[in-house]
Amino acid sequence: MKVLRLLLVLVVVATAGVGVALVATRPEPLPRDTTSAERLAPGPYTVETTETTWTDPTRPTDANGDFEGSPDRRFAVTLWSPEDAPGPHPLLVYSHGFMSNRHGGLHLAEHMASHGYVVVATDYPLTHFGAPGGPNAMDVVNQPADVSFLIDSVLGLAADDRPFEGGIDRERIGVMGLSLGGLTTTLVAFHPELGDPRIRVAISIAGPSAMFGPDYFAQADVPFLMIAGTHDAMIRYEENGAPVPDRISDGGLVTLDEASHAAFSSIAAGPMRLLGNPDSLGCESLVANLDLPPGSNPFPNLGGPEQGILDASDASMPCQVSFDEAMSPGRQHWLTTLAVRAFFGQHFAVEASERAAHATFLSETFPREIADVHYTPAKRAARS
């Protein structure tokens, strides 16, 4: 009995210590009386969350490890929508990262829905954390069609089945994603075979992009924003984020000083933030589940020069760096949220004055007010 009491005391003490540490590591609020702090506030609408399951019977799920495969692709889906907001609404599809799930962008989905957007996300069949047979990054080649299926499914909801009023504006459909979801986003926005022409705006958050040449981004007239961190141990900033402005003609790059990779995910706001750099933990799982020999093409099924895709076999392997002290995950979420809302607002706000205000905030006000934010606009000439 004394041993049990001692163990109980130790657990209570340890829990209390974690609680104190979580309080102590909360991010410092953004500077008061700034546009950035003001824009971070939730929008005017209460957010309604709807959980559902959809099945695409037209495409199979491949065999994977000890999983025999399936004749269809099944999706656990979450919809975030604004209550009592007049439509039609812009639609955003969020794509999760490798070994993550549809709630990895919760902070983004809730914020955007509070401002009148409808956001949909799913657990992709073979790349989410609990995928049958184990997470398999190679199934990313099938995820652009999954995005198209999600768009079809939302557009196809009958009025009585929609958890939101007013329907969807088919001219305001955007995509965003983190890491492997960022790659999914870039594929569905621009790929000549895998892309969806309904996409109007795309945001990749720390997504692999070393394999995309200038000709790739010229294949679709879609504004593109990359958000990347300088302390990303998984998707190296120098090879993936930094080159983007030279390859695109519309959009830009938001660089977050000392931002890590894993901290872009909502899950990092919990105990993971006690780590100096959450990539140290994320890399353990990534290396254990990513079977990628050095010097190999990481995604051979995405195409080649005909599709504007470069040979990326010489790209740096993930997690082969030191884990430098990184930005607080909470702060990283705030800054990413501000960039995401501004870029979509720049293109989807109804009034021209609103669109201009979003554009000015992203390119001028935001980096002026927040020292660890930098904005680099697209540098490539637009298509003639």
Model pLDDT for residues 306-345, shown as the tens digit of each residue: 999 988 777 777 777 777 788 999 999 999 999 999 999 9
| Whether pLDDT at 18 is above 50 | no
Span 80-94, average pLDDT: 96
| Whether pLDDT at 31 is above 50 | yes
Amino acid at 317: M
- The separation between CA 205 and the C-alpha centre of its own chain, rounded to angstroms, equals 5
If pLDDT is split at 50, 70 and 90, which confidence band does 278 have?
confident
Amino acid at 162: R
Domain 41-292+300-377: homologous superfamily in CATH: Alpha/Beta hydrolase fold, catalytic domain (3.40.50.1820)
| Whether pLDDT at 118 is above 90 | yes
| Whether pLDDT at 224 is above 80 | yes
Could you give the CA distance from residue 52 to residue 69 in angstroms, rounded to a whole number? 22
> What pLDDT sits at residue 292?
67
Q: For residue 234, count CB atoms less than 10 angstroms from its CB and return exposed for 0-12, middle for 13-18, buried for 19 or more.
A: buried
Domain boundaries, the chain: 41-292+300-377
Q: Which helix (H) or strand (E) holds 81?
A: strand 73-82
Could you give the CA distance from residue 320 to residue 315 in angstroms, rounded to a whole number? 12
> What pLDDT sits at residue 124?
98
> What pLDDT sits at residue 348?
98
Both tokens assigned to 82: 């604004």
| Whether pLDDT at 272 is above 60 | no
Tokens 């980096």 sit on residue: 367
| DSSP-assigned beta bridge partners for residue 53 | 76
| DSSP-assigned beta bridge partners for residue 122 | 77
Name which of 236, 229, 187 is nearest 210 in CA terms: 236
Name the region of 353 (left: φ>0; alpha: ψ -120 to 50; beta: rest).
Answer: alpha
pTM of the predicted protein model: 0.90
If pLDDT is split at 50, 70 and 90, which confidence band does 24 have?
very low
Name which of 219, 194, 198 is nearest 144 in CA terms: 194
pLDDT tens profile 242-262:
999 999 999 999 999 999 999
Determine contact, residues 132/104, Cβ cutoff 8 Å. no
